[in-house]
Structure 1
């Protein structure tokens, strides 16, 4: 739900944030994408298109 709300229901933004979260979890060698990773991605990327 966190990604959906942060992306404003935009499928492109959801996809962009999900990929960033997967990459961050892989970088941390995690098997699951945890809430703290999602929160960091949402905070870093936001919804401003950057």
Structure 2
């Protein structure tokens, strides 16, 4: 099943837990205070294809 999904995935990799955690950590910081009402797709390009 993973091979089938990866074949269709633009980046040919799955998003990792560490990548999700890094984004969540950034969004909790003051530097992200201007980000409001945004939809951040972290899916390796899946929704863009």
TM-score range, shorter chain: 0.3 to 0.5
TM-score by length of 2: 0.32
TM-score under structure 1 normalisation? 0.32
Question: Which structure carries more helix by proportion?
Answer: 1
Q: Larger Cα Rg: Structure 1 or Structure 2?
A: 2
